Amino acid sequence: MRATALMTILLLQAAAASPADAPPVAQPQYMHFMRTLSVPAGTGQACAVLDAAIFPHAAPSLLDLRLFPSQTASHTTPHELPYAITLSESISEETANARLLNLGAGAAGTIVFDLEMPTRPYTDVTLDLDPSLHDFLATATVSGSAALGTQAKGTALGSFTLFDLTTQHLSRSTALPLAESTFRYLHVALSLSPAPGADSSAARFPPSIVEGAEVTPSREAEAIYTTVTETAAVATSGRESIATLQIPPRVPVERVEFMLAPGFKGNFSRDVRVTATTEPPAKGAAREDSSSQPDMTDDMRAPLPEVVTGSILRVHTTEAGREIHTEQLTLPAILGANLQRAAKVEVAIENGDDQPLPIAAVRLQMRQRRLCFDAVAASAGPLSLYYGDPALAAPVYDYERLFTAAEKPLDVTLGPQLPNPLFTPRPTAPLPFTERHPQVLWIALVAAIAALGLVALRSSKTVGR
């Protein structure tokens, strides 16, 4: 009886097991697309920049990217080369607040204070001045030191012009663009005066207008960006200049950049609105990837538009003997509307009553991503990047787990995207054993019930005696 029960259990396990449960193996002939890699001679890390053309044709999150020796025959299965994908920056810092110390009035009507800085390199420091304070010019004289007190020896870091030219429609800047520094303390002497044309009789600049300071990540750690798409077609509609761009599915967008006509020298400050919109797929439509299979998980409802706002400005002028030079022609715009579907992105510049800006180009950009691998391991022969097999899961490499980005890796050039000449469709996974032979499962269940009934009958007879 025990043998019968054991056989029944084994039969049920065999019925439940299926070769379809095994994860698919990455093989070049099952990849729709390929790109050759030109790897320079050398040792250490070699890295290739991943452009926007890869994202629409690879699996989501680039799960199916594989490096193989370039193939000449489909019957061979070479070993894949481990890699790591990195973002093109070393940003680990976030914007931090500097501690405001010793705020008070100085000589000749200045405002003096100290800032306790974060224990990391920094460049730009933005003073938090009373937001209700408008139409002023200021000179900030900055020095750095390792300690506080009159005995501490300070190092002059320069004088910087701050301004608010609201009446002239030229925005506001309270940033101190320092060279990269690591001083523990900054000493600031701030001299303010009304901007030309402002009501000087109502101007008051008490020390309380200084509310603190923010420290952004060092410029040495800023991200590098790759252009996803751009357009020079900018139309004027009412009081707005509008550029319309299309982005394919799954291509990340994280910044908008504006290029001005080379001869334009004017000052401006304009609000910007970025709107991303996708359309729901037709019911039963094929997915926009290489699988060509209907995506039954797509939400058929019309998606809501995604909106990001900000501003761009440029001020190069001299006010009351002070030179002002500030420029901001990029706008952070992390868009999620395009994660799985193509999207239309509309970039609108609000001109108000001013003349439209001479925009030469509007660019959508993503943070640069690089695929890095061991140059020595790739030196055996030509190498190609394969992708376009949505059946694959993300690879797991020791190389990626132990990866540390090199300061100057070898620059690898990616060739154009090409259809894989050796492509063959991946064989259809067989149905589970229980679906191919449903009668076996019923036989096993009946056998199990019969065995259990026989055991119960014998047990009842034993109890009766």
Which tens digits make up the pLDDT trace of 241-290? 999 999 999 999 999 999 999 989 889 989 999 999 987 665 555 444 44
Question: pLDDT per residue over 149-158, tens digit each?
Answer: 766 678 899 8
Q: How far apart are CA 127 and CA 107, in angstroms?
A: 20
For residue 290, give the nearest of 389, 370, 356 by alpha carbon.
389
Residue 159 has pLDDT above 60, yes or no: yes
Summary count for the chain: helices (H), strands (E): 4, 27
Q: Is 374 exposed, middle or buried (0-12, 13-18, 19+ CB in 10 A)?
A: middle
Query: Residue 348 above 60 pLDDT?
Result: yes
Q: How confident is the model at residue 400 (pLDDT cuts 50, 70, 90)?
A: very high
pLDDT digits (tens, 9 = 90+) for 41-85: 888 999 999 999 999 999 988 999 999 988 766 556 778 999 999
pLDDT (average), residues 434-452: 71
Beta partners for residue 447, in sequence order: none
Average pLDDT of the chain?
Answer: 82
Predicted pLDDT of residue 286? 46
Q: Which fold has domain 96-221?
A: Jelly Rolls (2.60.120)
What contacts 439, CB < 8 A, 6 or more positions away?
A: none
- Averaged pLDDT, 420-432: 80
Helix (H) or strand (E) holding 273, with range, is strand 268-277
CA atoms of 364 and 225, how far apart (whole Å): 10
With tokens 């299926």, the residue in question is 18
CATH topology assigned to domain 225-367 = Jelly Rolls (2.60.120)
Q: What is the pLDDT of residue 49?
A: 93
Beta bridge partners of residue 286, listed in sequence order: 294
The pLDDT value recorded for residue 166 is 81
Question: How far apart are alpha carbons 10 and 16 in whole angstroms?
Answer: 10
Pairing relation of β-strands 45-50 and 410-414?
Answer: parallel
- The Cα-based distances of 79 to 70, 325, 371, 377 in angstroms read 11, 56, 18, 11
pLDDT surpassing 50 at residue 15: no
Quote helix, strand, coil % in the chain, to nearest 5.
Answer: 15, 40, 45
CA-to-CA distance for 336 and 313, rounded, in angstroms? 26
Q: Would you state the pLDDT for residue 75?
A: 59
3-state secondary structure of 293: coil
Specify the long-range contacts of residues 25-28, CB closer than 8 Å, at least 24 apart: 25/77, 26/64, 26/66, 26/80, 26/389, 26/392, 26/395, 27/77, 28/66, 28/68, 28/71, 28/74, 28/77, 28/78, 28/384, 28/386, 28/420, 28/422
